Chains A and B, each alone.
Chain A
């Protein structure tokens, strides 16, 4: 296999990892208001159950994006340059969303004020919903192609990217990630949050399946190949299997199903794209392929060695993290008071009130 092929596959793998992992993080963020509505008496503690379910891992999940970006820069500089400068405003919006969302997780519990938390909750919702939608738009536009000139510079506008096909893809990723997040919460929590997640699943799966099927069908009719018809069909089967498992309360299988759906959908898109990386709609010759966008053989060789040695290590310790935090979360294990939000004047944190076993402040100095 040529190194350019290897790197095309590796970058596809990195994006797949990103969407599988941050996909459910986005879903959890999107579901925050739906599964723990403000009017509910336990709203705050339920929100904290949800946020803590992704607490230890969301940042590691987001690094998949950074590595995908870095790998694209190293292996296909032309692709990185045309894509990032061409998709300028959507990327700007995604960046802002990821910034406020990341800070929201860290800062939400740091001051005990309803207004403070409400604002950060908004940041979590919008910071999850917007990228969940825009990543779909971006990838559909990559597969569909964008106007490029002879120098591979993007010549369209923001509205070139917001075409109906792109928006359908956006709805698809938004729906899939929401479903993926709901299934994840059903797997990772117990009690009210899990019940609500399952209830919601029953309501949202028909439109999600319909939108996703429409998107895959459009994609395949316009750009499909024999091999990707297989992956696209498999994605559809995986999605239906995931829904079936979810409805029967088989949380693990349901999660495996939605994860597989994401994997197969991304595989379909990259398969359709190959051997292009960014086709041009103005003139075929202006498009970027794995050949004219790639770095030199030497650079690809170096990077292949780095990837071969270190990717398994990363996968091993990330998998271990999920193993360490495998326990389901419930309201009972969340400390009653908002952690570490001490009154300023006393100069000393008030010990949190214990109301019984299981409600004592966790022994974490990092409470907040």
Chain B
């Protein structure tokens, strides 16, 4: 184990952990804003109770997303100082914009929303949750612009004297084709997460015949959002795959464990054989599908790992340019699989809704995990698939690590974060379950006439 390995594990663990909570925040912020809007428009108290119930769950989740986000911004400098020196001129800009344009908006207006129920007019109060949701979604845009630059660097030049990347066009960075397809993909994934969450929670209560009017409405709402999001996630994912094939062909080849260039290329659904797909004993393959996914043409040529590797060695010098194929291969499959099942649940739910099937309620509860798993797999896929690069074709991961930070420090940091995050997961989980079970506030609790300050703490 070197400091580099440990720093990579820390980045992986803290980022995956952070992104368990973030998509739910993004999805629920908009869903809860929608619920409050329904209350505002229709004046039916059931929507107010719905807003407050899901709003509370949203906040439990939001808090942990926020605090783990601080680590994200700091660890570039702490563990990846040479990366920071190299990319700061380009990469720092979207990060700073995220803080100034998105984080302030999100945190300030969420504070107003939590504490402002009786201090603001209903219309202004409604605006606060929408502005907080806007901030949350904007922050996703800026951080994805930063990440997309690592996947597909544009709008920069390499300074031959300092050997640093320098920004030449902020417009190109913010309208990077990778960003433009990744942003909707992540957003739809987040809405799917939020939608399936609402569906699962509603199913739990509906199965126990509690508050059936409220949860019936929430169920329908969650199902419709999930279905739209599932369609959106696949369409945007499809566009992304094509762009990825052009920009990072090695990632696509590794995703398929496609060693030799093929036209047409089949999509392997499932393989039994060596883990890296190098040897196949048995597999289920869909002919032409990979060609279509990668190029839009069912007979299109998809380059294989071995050929790409030769080309990269010719271009970048001798070395290894292969990502860890088994991880890339399986995370890609699992991402699609989990996402597909979540979409299927939404479709089945809309079908069964009229009859309220007990099996559906169980399935919905179990399915709450699916979008989270799909999100996690998606990030593992896209980040592992880019290796050995941090900035594709420009900077290798091993060249980005902090040279002055010793193994002891990084190990300490990894240990502290892993233990702390594990404890926080238990606490947040316990709270979440408790508040899901306790159900929405009663009507009298939400309609107190007294103009009293609202206290959250």
Q: Which residues of A does B touch, CB under 8 Å?
A: 48, 51-52, 55-60, 62-63, 65-67, 69-71, 73-78, 80-86, 88-89, 91-92, 95-96, 98-100, 102-103, 105-111, 149, 151-155, 295-296, 298-299, 302-303, 306-307, 310-311, 314, 317-318, 321, 324-325, 327, 329, 333-335, 339-340, 342-344, 346-349, 351-352, 357-358, 360-368
Q: What B residues does A364 contact at CB under 8 A?
A: 52, 114-115, 117-118, 454-456
Given A57-B111, A77-B85, A96-B420, A85:B405 Cβ within 8 A: yes
B93 pairs with A302, CB closer than 8 A: yes
| B101 proximal to A (CB < 8 A) | yes
CA distance A359 to B214 in the complex (A): 28
B170 interfacial by beta-carbon distance below 8 Å:
yes
The verdict on B234 contacting chain A, using a C-beta distance below 8 Å, is no
A349 to B434 Cα, complex, angstroms: 11
B221 at the interface (CB under 8 A from A): no
Interface residue from A66, A151, A307 paired with B73 (Cβ < 8 Å): A66
Residues of chain B lying within 8 A (CB to CB) of residue A91: 74, 78
Q: Which B residues lie within 8 Å of A329 (CB)? A: 453
Tell me if A368 and B89 are in contact (CB < 8 A). no
Pair A310/B74 contact, Cβ less than 8 Å: no
By DSSP majority rule, is chain A's interface helix, strand, loop, or mixed?
Answer: helix
Q: Does B84 make an interface contact (CB < 8 A)?
A: yes
How many residue pairs link A and B with beta carbons under 8 A? The number is: 326
Q: Are B96 and A67 in contact (CB under 8 A)?
A: yes
Contacts of B427 in A (CB 8 A): 103, 107
Is B452 in the interface zone, CB < 8 Å from A? Answer: yes
Do B85 and A367 touch (CB < 8 A)?
no
Residue among B66, B82, B104 with most chain A CB within 10 A = B104
Find the residue from B48, B67, B446, B447 having the highest chain A CB count within 10 A. B67
A327 proximity list for chain B (CB < 8 A)? 453
Q: Is the CB of B452 within 8 A of A296?
A: no
Are B455 and A298 neighbours in the complex by a CB distance under 8 Å? no
Chain B residues lying within 8 Å of A86, measured Cβ to Cβ, are 404
**Is residue B285 contacting chain A, with contact meaning CB distance below 8 A?**
no
In the complex, whether B34 has a CB less than 8 A from a CB of chain A is: no
Known: A364-B118, A365-B446. A81 touches B88 (CB 8 A): yes
Is B95 in contact with A365, judged by CB distance below 8 angstroms? no
Report the minimal beta-carbon distance from A314 to chain B, rounded to whole angstroms.
5
Decide yes or no: A347 and B438 within 8 Å by CB, A99-B68, A153-B81 being known contacts: yes
> Cβ of A295 and Cβ of B442 under 8 Å apart?
no
Q: Which residues of A contact B114 (CB under 8 A)?
A: 55-56, 364, 366
B118, A362: Cβ atoms closer than 8 Å: yes
B66 and A368 form a contact (CB under 8 A): no
Check A77/B84 contact, CB under 8 A, given A109-B457, A357-B450.
Answer: yes
Interface size on B, residues (CB 8 A): 98
Most buried by A among B56, B89, B416, B434: B89
Most buried by B among A58, A85, A314: A85
B210 within 8 A of A: yes
- B97 in contact with A306 (CB, 8 Å): yes
When distances are taken between beta carbons in the complex, the residues of chain A under 8 Å from B208 are 347
With both beta carbons as reference points, the residue of chain A lying nearest to B76 in the complex is identified as A73
Tell me, yes or no, whether B79 is within 8 Å of chain A by CB. yes
Task: Verify if B263 is at the interface (C-beta below 8 Å from A).
Answer: no
6 closest residue pairs by CB, A with B: A365-B52, A77-B88, A84-B77, A74-B92, A364-B454, A85-B81
Chain A residues near B402: list those with CB within 8 A: 81, 85, 88, 153
Give the residues in chain B near A52, CB-CB below 8 Å.
Answer: 455-457
Roughly how many angstroms separate A59 CA and B87 CA in the complex, as a whole number? 29
The distance in angstroms between the C-alpha atoms of A159 and B207, with both chains bound, is 59
Given contacts A299-B166, A302-B93, contact A349 B438 (CB under 8 A): yes
Interchain CB contact (< 8 A) of A352 among B111, B437, B438, B445: B445
| Residues of chain B lying within 8 A (CB to CB) of residue A66 | 69-70, 73, 99, 103
Tell me, in angstroms, the Cα distance from A58 to B457 when the chains sit together: 12
Instruction: Determine if B336 is an interface residue (Cβ-Cβ < 8 Å).
Output: no
Q: Which of A59, A149, A299, A352 contacts B66 (CB 8 A)?
A: A59
The answer to whether B431 touches A153, judged by C-beta atoms less than 8 angstroms apart, is no
Pairwise interchain contact B446-A107, C-beta atoms closer than 8 A? no
Assess whether B111 is in contact with A362, with CB atoms less than 8 Å apart: no
Is B278 positioned at the interface, with any CB of A under 8 Å from its CB? Answer: no
**Does B407 have its Cβ within 8 Å of any Cβ on chain A?**
no
> Is B412 engaged at the interface, CB distance under 8 Å to the other chain?
yes
Residue of A nearest to B98 (CB): A70
Q: How close is B58's CB to chain A, nearest CB, in angstroms?
A: 9
Least CB distance, A340 to chain B, in whole angstroms: 7
* A325 adjacent to B63 (CB under 8 Å): no
With contact pairs A85-B405, A365-B55 given, residues A55 and B108 touching in the complex (Cβ less than 8 Å): no
Residue B448 CB within 8 A of the other chain: yes
Q: For A63, give its contact among B62, B104, B166, B167 (CB under 8 Å).
A: B104
Given contacts A110-B431, A111-B434, 15 further A-B contacts (CB under 8 A): A56-B115, A78-B88, A85-B405, A88-B78, A91-B78, A106-B60, A295-B167, A317-B109, A334-B455, A339-B456, A344-B438, A348-B439, A349-B442, A358-B452, A360-B450
Instruction: Using CB atoms, name the residue of chain A closest to B90.
Output: A299
Task: Indicate the member of A82, A91, A360, A361 with the most B CB atoms within 10 Å.
Answer: A361
Q: Are A81 and B455 in contact (CB under 8 A)?
A: no
State A317–B131 Cα separation when bound (angstroms).
11
Which residues of chain A have C-beta atoms less than 8 A from B87's C-beta?
Answer: 77
Residue among A58, A60, A81, A333 making CB contact with B84, cutoff 8 Å: A81
Chain A residues within an 8 Å CB radius of B452: 333, 358, 360, 362-363
A263 CB, nearest partner CB in chain B, Å: 20
Q: How far is the CA of A318 from the CA of B167 in the complex (A)?
A: 31
Given A63-B107, A110-B435, A324:B96 Cβ within 8 A: no
CA distance A81 to B79 in the complex (A): 9
Expressed in whole angstroms, the Cα–Cα distance for A344 and B59 within the complex equals 19
- Within 8 Å of chain A (Cβ to Cβ): is B53? yes
Given contacts A107-B431, A311-B100, contact A367 B455 (CB under 8 A): yes
Provide the residues of chain B in CB contact with A62, threshold 8 Å: 70, 107
* Bound Cα distance A86, B70 (Å): 18
Q: Mark B301-316, 1 if CB is under 8 A from A, else 0.
A: 0000000000000000
**Are B431 and A111 in contact, with the CB atoms below 8 A?**
yes
**A66-B73, A77-B84, A360-B448 known; A48+B56 contact, CB < 8 A:** no
* Contact with A363, one of B81, B405, B431, B446 (Cβ below 8 angstroms): B446
Q: How far is the CA of A188 from the CA of B68 in the complex (A)?
A: 30
CB distance from A346 to the nearest CB of B (A): 8
Q: Is B112 interfacial (CB-CB < 8 Å)?
A: yes
Provide the B27-48 mask, 1 if CB < 8 A to any CB of A, else 0. Answer: 0000000000000000000001
* A-side contacts of B286, CB under 8 Å: none
Q: Contact: B56 with A340, CB < 8 Å?
A: yes
A–B pairs, 16, beta carbons within 8 Å: A57-B111, A59-B107, A62-B107, A66-B99, A69-B99, A85-B78, A106-B62, A295-B166, A299-B89, A314-B100, A321-B112, A324-B112, A349-B438, A349-B439, A351-B442, A351-B444
Q: Which residues of A contact B85 (CB under 8 A)?
A: 77-78, 81, 152
Residue B51 lies at the interface, judged by CB distance under 8 Å to chain A: yes
Asked if B71 is at the interface (CB within 8 A of a chain A CB), the reply is: yes
Out of B115, B168, B444, B457, name the residue touching A108 (CB < 8 Å): B457
